[in-house]
Chain A
Amino acid sequence: MSTVRVYVTLKPSLLDSAGRTVTDSLQKLGFDEVKDARIGKVIEMVVDPYDEARVREMGERLLANPVIENFRIEVAG
């Protein structure tokens, strides 16, 4: 049994309007050092057995949209 996390992020070339709102809000709280914030999502799954190729296929077929997003896989344990 493995816990796998798939991190999905918007491609850097695309405007993340929700992330920009977070940037603005952090700056208003005085966190001036924040120059940019981008929001992604993490999908944590328990799989048994763990097969990296199959998790990659999940990312390609459903978890991320290749037109707008990138993803990476992390095995948590």
Chain B
Amino acid sequence: MKVAVVRFPGANCDQDALWSLRDDLCLSAEYVWHEDTSLAGFDAVILPGGFTYGDYLRCGAIAARAPIMAEVARFALEGRFVIGVCNGFQVLCEAGLLPGALLLNQNQKFLCQDVYLRAENRTSPWTEGVDHILRIPIAHGEGRYVCDDLTLARLASEDRIAFRYVDAEGRQTEESNPNGSVDSIAGVLNDAGNVLGMMPHPERATRKLLGSDDGRQILAALCRVTV
């Protein structure tokens, strides 16, 4: 298993992603430049967080149209694993690989804090076996997930809501929703379940020393793949 960590100008979680995969999950991981056009030799892709292209126009809008993204789309279509974290989630939405969009937080504040997550889907490769409440950090100004009512109903009926923001006991309340996301959605899956986008940062929670190693439960999907 070899994971591509895509580097866009302005991304700032690329090193976190690379080293958490290498050191804490014992995976092989290499950087791929945004202008590259091939993912040959890779088995999975992570789009890390940051502020790609200064988040000009809209978060992730320019990155979503970078040369590497056509290859990421092909990769996703083949059923291979793609995860977008934070800005990477925004990029996947802008690229049309995931439904919806991310808007300015309801309280207009940049939020840097731990949140609790409940895995709603338990069958996708990313969420399989995640049966307890996860504590994982968020760090974003524009993480309010929105989509139209029809899309929301489809996400629910097709079991594509990967994570919801909850409190420590797993209850979905207004207070436990940090950014005003519709239905407290913190992460969604594509229809096949191989593409995950989420605002919280699992790569920042891969060892106890960092405060939590709950992120491993999500990233462990990459260890389960047999190539």
Which residues on A are within 8 Å of B, measured CB to CB? 10, 14-15, 17-18, 21, 62-63, 65, 67-68
Closest CB in chain A relative to B128 CB, distance in Å:
29
Interface string of B125-163 (1 = CB under 8 A from A): 000000000000000000010111000000000000000
CB pairs A–B below 8 angstroms (17 shown): A14-B146, A15-B103, A15-B106, A17-B104, A17-B107, A17-B108, A17-B144, A62-B57, A62-B61, A62-B65, A65-B58, A65-B61, A65-B101, A67-B99, A67-B100, A68-B101, A68-B146
Main secondary structure of the interface of B (DSSP, over half): loop
Establish whether residues B61 and A68, one from each chain, have CB atoms under 8 Å apart when the complex forms.
Answer: no
Q: Mark B82-126, 1 if CB is under 8 A from A, else 0.
A: 000000000001100001110111111000000000000000000
- Known contacts A14-B146, A68-B101, A68-B146; A63/B57 CB under 8 A: yes
B180 touching A67 by the CB < 8 A rule?
A: no
Tell me the smallest distance from the CB of A54 to a CB of chain B, in Å. Answer: 17
Q: Which residue of A lies closest to B149 (CB)?
A: A13
CB distance from B179 to the nearest CB of A (A): 10
Chain A contacts for B57, CB-based, 8 A = 62-63
Contact across chains for A67 and B108 when beta carbons are under 8 A apart: no
- Chain B residues contacting A62 (CB-CB under 8 Å) are 57, 61, 65
Minimal beta-carbon separation of B98 from chain A (angstroms): 10
Name the residue in A15, A63, A68 with the highest tally of chain B Cβ atoms < 10 Å from its Cβ. A68
User: A68 vs B125: C-alpha distance in the bound complex, in angstroms?
Assistant: 29
Q: Give the shortest distance, in Å, between A17 (CB) and chain B (any CB).
A: 5
Q: Which of B106, B107, B147 contacts A67 (CB 8 A)?
A: B147
Q: A17-B180, A18-B108, A62-B61 are in contact. List 11 more A-B contacts (CB 8 A).
A: A10-B103, A14-B103, A15-B103, A17-B106, A17-B108, A17-B144, A62-B65, A63-B57, A65-B101, A67-B93, A68-B101
